[in-house]
Every structure is written in structure tokens, then in C-alpha cells.
Amino acid sequence: ILNVEQSPQSLHVQEGDSTNFTCSFPSSNFYALHWYRWETAKSPEALFVMTLNGDEKKKGRISATLNTKEGYSYLYIKGSQPEDSATYLCALNSGYSTLTFGKGTMLLVSP
């Protein structure tokens, strides 16, 4: 079983703050890294799929970077809004057909 760690477990910020979370994974097992956004009472939705070391992806105010050599990825949210409140999941693909998910970072953005 692969160990995918996310930190922090939860985060509470004010509207307008920028924030970031970390996803750590065993670099020797890397094939692809996924980020998902999971709002309460909904189902997870994909944000990014990343495969290349040094890759940076962006969607609106959300961006992610990837370091496959040291085994981590950062997710950044610029100018957080209350609608960004959700759990953010990362998941590692190690070359097989499945993903191993981290436990997520729960973000709460207060107005």
C-alpha cells in the first residue's frame, strides 16, 4: 500500500488570503499525480493530472506544482473565496490502473 500524505489536515483562512497545501508521495513509485476538489455533499471533481517533474498547472486562481524527484506537489489558491471551501485530495498513480488517495486537506474560507 502506497503512502500518500497530505498536510495540513485542515485549514481555516479568511476571504482574500492565499494558501497552499502539500501532497507527499514515494518518488520511486511515481507515474502521475491527480488533484481533486471535493465539496461537501457532492462528489470529487478533478482539478489537475500531472506527470512531468517541474510541471505547473493552473485553473483560475488555483495552481499546482510537482516535484517527482523529491516526491511532493503543492496546491496553491490565490485570494481564497468562500466558494473555495472544500476538501482537496491528491492521488498517486504508480503505473497501474488505480489511484491511491491521500486523506485530504479540508479548507474553510470565512467571509
Partner 1 sequence: NAGVTQTPKFRVLKTGQSMTLLCAQDMNHEYMYWYRQDPGMGLRLIHYSVGEGTTAKGEVPDGYNVSRLKKQNFLLGLESAAPSQTSVYFCASNPSGNLYEQYFGPGTRLTVT
DSSP string, the chain: ----EEE-SEEEEETT--EEEEEE--GGG-SEEEEEEE-TTS--EEEEEE-STT-EEEETTEEEEEETTTTEEEEEESS--GGG-EEEEEEEE-SSS--EE---EEEEEE-
- Residue placing its CB nearer to partner 1 in the complex, 18 or 51: 51
- Residue placing its CB nearer to partner 1 in the complex, 14 or 97: 97
Task: Note the residues at the interface with partner 1 (CB under 8 A).
Answer: 1, 31-32, 34, 36, 42-46, 49, 51, 89, 91, 93, 95-104
- Residue placing its CB nearer to partner 1 in the complex, 51 or 110: 51
